[in-house]
Chains A and B, each alone.
Chain A
Amino acid sequence: MQKHVIEVEDMTVAYEEKPVLWDIDINIPKGVLMAIVGPNGAGKSTLIKAMLNLVKPISGKVLFNGLSYECQRRYIGYVPQRGSVDWDFPTSVLDVVLMGTYGKIGWIKRPGKKEKEKSLDAIKKVGMEEFVDRQISQLSGGQQQRVFLARALVQDADIYFMDEPFQGVDAKTERAIINILKELRLRGKTVIVVHHDLQTVKEYFDWVALLNTKLIQYGKVDEVFTDENLRITYGSTDRVLKGEV
């Protein structure tokens, strides 16, 4: 049997009255590129936040390589939604990417030359080398997303969580991002992506989880991403055919 890098058991999250996530069990093998899809309000972001300990579940536990989140923190990378930060913050592209190295440096110590080189490499990889010293508010949406991706790359993690990296980006950025994600997978990393666009699931990902409060199905895209399962997830095929819900 294949070893699982992420195991979620009996995860239930409730904010107020109704559960946002209901009894999620999911085992993700190493080296997959997995999309989490589902309608608005299905709890997609909540699921990755709960896995990362940013939201406290009512019940359930998450194991990374058989260990708790705290023990495995340094092997986990996270790309939050682009809208979750203040882009007017007085800082440059390089500075934001450097933040990815902070986890490994620890408290008080400063990033040095090594970290800087690593960050510049990552910036080059996402095609932003012209903008190294640019103030972040002067970037387009796609460029901002690429900066976030570069920041995740320097985290040098084994498992990546990304919250809607394709939200509001141009076609060029979308290609750049997906190429990098695929490269990460080739290097044996596991990548979990909250995704919105059903049209591209088959092309971009090899695994998919269909979520609507509870986990409808998950597994290889070819096996799981069927019309029948989508109908269960989204309620009606009609809305699914329109491409987005």
Chain B
Amino acid sequence: MMSLELLLKDYTLQIVALGSAVLGAVSGVLGSFAVLRKQSLLGDAVSHAALPGIAFVFLITGIKNTEMLLLGALISGLIGTFMIIIIDQYTRIKFDSALGLTLSSFFGLGLVLLTYIQKLPNSNQAGLEHFIFGQASTLLKRDVFIMIGLGVIILLVVALFWKELKLFSFDPQFGKSIGFSNVKINVILSSITVVAIIIGLQSVGVILMSALLVAPGVAARQWTDKLSMMVILAALFGIFSGVLGTLISSLVDNMPTGPVIVVVISLIVFFSLFFASNRGIFWRHIKHGKNKRNINDSRVLINLYELALNHKDVYHPHKTEVINLTNNKDKGNANVIKRLLYLCEKGYAKRDYFDTWSITDKGIKKAKSIIDNQGGESL
């Protein structure tokens, strides 16, 4: 409650939180496509590749004008993207190597330029390194307006090319075959992704920006199978982690905003992975355990059935060791007895003495139908 009060009162905090929210929304939307296109790490490379652009523009103009610096970042980010695509297409070098090479050599160039600037006389370079780690608390109202403007443009572009983006995230070959240009879509998507990264540079920085482009999409994917739903959810997760991260970092001393946002969204991802309806690991584990038990139950029943068939009298009782599954022989009979008791409970088998068992009519019928269904049928 206190944090809400704080959010309502503190003007600077509102500005920063608004900025983080916009960033979260935009990166959630674009990240969904990146995740589906299996290009999650492209964002990582592009955000590093933006650094030399920033430094270069400052070197030429000598002033820290946000728009100009961001323009520089945009251009060098696009050059980086272009390089990655060309390397991937024209050589046998794998996509991930192309990413690693591009991000590190661009970043190296950026550092070279930054150190060069630092040594120039009378240069007012302080704050440029904020682009590396981000410094949300230094966001100005004007910066946030720029972020909102860029964010709106990105969302409009996505809405406009929705059909094409959907097609290309799913099946680029097919898209090409029905006459959409792969290259054009790539350029559009890369450009708006670069713009989104640039929005994030000031608040979370080059390194952590990549997380925001991956995590919301991955988390959203766990809850839905529909693209439109996924994009909306990803945006919501992005906004939530952006605002919550900002609040936490303003409430606790010495808490860097960017990393806190990343930790929040990561926790959302882990939660989704475990507990998301249907897909979640937790549910799947339960289901899998049930399944394995079920398969073993069926197998015990079928062993019993086959033993019965080999005997003159189908209802002849058999000893536990005989019914035991091959792979369990060294583990003893406890497991089989458990399974057999379950079968008795269901009326598929009967316990004759302490350790002999026989099949019932119901059991024979069931065993036949399981065999016909290749174990797909449950007990």
A interface residues (Cβ-Cβ under 8 A, vs B): 9-10, 12, 14, 16-19, 22-23, 57-61, 88, 137, 212-214
Contacts and interface: CB of A to CB of B under 8 A. Distances in A.
A14 B326 contact: no
Contacts of B65: none
A193 B227 CA distance: 42
B374 A19 contact: yes
B334 to A, nearest CB: 16
B299 A12 contact: yes
Nearest to A137: B92
A57 to B, nearest CB: 8
B327 interface: yes
B326 A18 contact: no
B295 interface: yes
Given A9-B326, A18-B375, A60-B327, 19 more contacts: A10-B327, A12-B295, A17-B291, A18-B376, A19-B374, A19-B376, A22-B374, A58-B292, A58-B296, A59-B295, A59-B325, A60-B326, A61-B326, A61-B327, A88-B92, A137-B92, A213-B374, A213-B375, A214-B374
Interface string B324-363: 0111100000000000000000000000000000000000
Given A19-B376, A59-B327, A10 B295 contact: no
Contacts of B316: none
B376 A23 contact: no
Interface residues of B, number: 17
B196 interface: no
A23 B291 contact: no
Given A10-B326, A14-B291, A59 B296 contact: yes
Given A17-B291, A58-B292, A61-B326, A10 B299 contact: yes
Contacts of B319: none
Interface in B258-297: 287-288, 291-292, 295-296
B299 A23 contact: yes
A22 B375 contact: yes
B234 interface: no
B166 to A, nearest CB: 27
A22 B288 CA distance: 16
29 contacts: A10-B299, A10-B325, A10-B326, A10-B327, A12-B295, A12-B375, A14-B291, A14-B292, A14-B295, A17-B287, A18-B376, A19-B295, A19-B376, A57-B327, A58-B295, A59-B295, A59-B325, A59-B326, A59-B328, A60-B326, A60-B327, A61-B326, A61-B327, A88-B92, A137-B92, A212-B374, A213-B374, A213-B375, A214-B375
